[in-house]
Amino acid sequence: MARHSPSSLLTWLLFLLHGQFPPANQPYRTSYHFQPLQNWMNDPNGPMIYKGIYHLFYQYNPYGAVWSANIVWAHSTSTDLINWIPHSHAIYPSQPSDINGCWSGSATILPGGEPLILYTGINQKNQEVQNLAMPKNLSDPYLVEWTKSAKNPLMAPDNTDNINASSFRDPTTAWLGPDGKWRVIIGSEIGSSGMAVLYWSKDFIQWTKAQHSLHSAEDTGMWECPDFYPVSGTGADGLDTSTIGPGVKHVLKVSLFDTKHDHYIVGTYDIVKDVFIPDKGSEEYKSWLRYDYGKYYASKTFFDGAKNRRVLWAWINESTDATIDVKKGWSGIQGIPRQIWLDRSGKQLVQWPVEEIEKLRMNQVDLPGRLLKGGSMVEVSGVTAAQADVEIEFEIPELEKADFLDPNWSDPQAICRQKGAPVRGGFGPFGLLVLASKDLQEHTSVFFRVFRHHDKNKFAVLMCSDQSRSSLLLDYDKTTFGAFVDVDPTREKLSLRSLIDHSIVESFGAGGKACISARVYPSLAVDGNAHLYAFNNGTQSVRVSKLRAWSMKKAQINYANERANY
């Protein structure tokens, strides 16, 4: 019998079954970022749309707020990617091939519309193997119940391929080649070389390992959560994962276990040789770009055929330690889903929060354009500063007095750490002070600096997210993040958008060319005591051509929406 949106009573029973209870006095829980009621959450798994319903599965520990081997696939659904209904766990240990945990994987929609999930299981020998799960009832758009193949595991490392059985995980969404065979890649490593192990199948059951990887790179370590998908060279529309042809490029994304960063490479998929060829200039690891230069890991995309877009999800972990996480009873959130596409230059991706997030906006505040003199700031009043969406644009009419960029400065994060918001330059720092206390004892700074190359006709734009003064609390990581932004400040305005949600600040520079996500835990700038400012701490004036902000309504996510209907 098809099972649809669960009743409030059933939801409460599920919470009780899994040891979940409503949290109280939790100033750092988010209001519109996805997170379960409590306990540990990490990687997004198998995101997809089926019969008009969005599905998000995720790695979840039902028994506590820290990671453990008892990982299951938790499951929630939505009609808008913002408000979510919880369901019972979709995949949990039940077979010899996953008895020690059900790890990350992906969903693939077959040509007839049937969704299948490939995921990593830990077997009774603590080896990583790949398994298949399918819906029990295809007429149920909520896909509440899943069953596993009796032939699991479908893929396992053998003794001849030099792959360690503990380094073989996280299958991608599969794609269909012109020869009628399915392809999928598995993250792995041999020695210090990371790789995307390639498999073929005609029926999605019998899989054969290719003699070569789709791609590999020396000295990159273990590749987790690989992702491989096509992008259009002519616009922002997304493409089905199996799309190939003229005007189509491909993106290979890997989550590097050693650095805990997600890197991507733009290139070409050679369908004859079944290999990925990075574009010139991006062959070396040091030239790979990142989705996000802050906290952002284990990301996963899917093609949203309903709106013809590719949507990106990612896990954003805490900056607190395990002791604090256990005390507050939860750990981990998901970033706001982002639409992702290839920039007009063809060299990088652009990301932007999905348009549905704008439904939560209320109480719009507009500040008139103004000149921000060096050393000045202006408060953005009338918004709930702890739960806001703010957009600002800067114009710099004349850049002759920009500081020179030291040719030895190649690491943007190191520059941001050395030249934080209090360090005055010519043009910059200028941007936003978010989650700020009234006396500015606490504030997180998201800002730009503009540098001039020794060739006076060229400029470099640095974007920073400085957490060094974000809290009077001492027991959490306050790393400062940074990225160079590919934008010409002589021709374009410098735009910045920040989504502020109690303990997270997701920022998008230059329309999404550079993104930085940060976790912060203020002790003073909490709820109604948080303030928002535009500031310029450079010596030169900059013009604010646009400043628009909104308070954000609370999304109905899992427990919250069901409790309201109880």
Q: Which amino acid is at 383?
A: V
Q: From CA 182, how far away is CA 149, in angstroms rounded?
A: 18
Question: Where are the strands (E) in 136-288, listed by range?
Answer: 146-148, 168-169, 175-176, 182-190, 193-201, 208-209, 215-217, 223-232, 248-256, 261-270, 275-278
User: 149 exposed, middle or buried (CB, 10 Å; 0-12, 13-18, 19+)?
Assistant: middle
- Select which of 43, 292, 304, 403 is catalytic: 43
What letter would DSSP give residue 528? G
Q: What is the CA radius of gyration of the chain?
A: 24
DSSP string, 260-319: TEEEEEEEEEETTTTEEEEPTT-SSGGG-EES-SSS-EEEEEEEETTTTEEEEEEEE--S
Q: Tell me which residue of 218, 192, 199 sits closest to 157, measured CA to CA.
A: 199
Q: From CA 91, how far away is CA 226, in angstroms rounded?
A: 20
Residue 521, SS3 per DSSP: coil
Q: From CA 300, how far away is CA 251, in angstroms rounded?
A: 12
What letter would DSSP give residue 527? G
Confirm if 544 and 373 have CB atoms less than 8 A apart. Answer: no
What is the dihedral sign for C-alpha 26, 31, 37, 40? negative
Instruction: State the CB neighbour count (10 A cutoff) for residue 432.
Output: 28
Q: From CA 201, how far away is CA 169, in angstroms rounded?
A: 18
Confirm if 104 and 43 have CB atoms less than 8 A apart. Answer: yes
Q: Tell me which residue of 424, 427, 431, 429 sits closest to 396, measured CA to CA.
A: 427
| Cα 3 to chain centroid, rounded | 30
Q: Tell me which residue of 8, 28, 11 sits closest to 318, measured CA to CA.
A: 28
Q: From CA 385, how far away is CA 549, in angstroms rounded?
A: 9
| Residue 536 in tokens | 């310029």
**43 is a catalytic site residue:** yes
Q: From CA 559, how far away is CA 177, in angstroms rounded?
A: 42
DSSP string, 345-408: TSSSEEEEE-GGGGGGEEEEEEEPPEEE-TTEEEE--SS-TTEEEEEEEEE-S--TTPEEPPTT
Q: Tell me which residue of 22, 33, 24, 25 sits closest to 503, measured CA to CA.
A: 33
Confirm if 426 and 374 have CB atoms less than 8 A apart. Answer: no
Confirm if 434 and 463 have CB atoms less than 8 A apart. Answer: no
Q: Which residues contact 417 (CB under 8 A, 6 or more apart)?
A: 480, 482
| Residue 495 in tokens | 């735009």
List the catalytic residues.
43
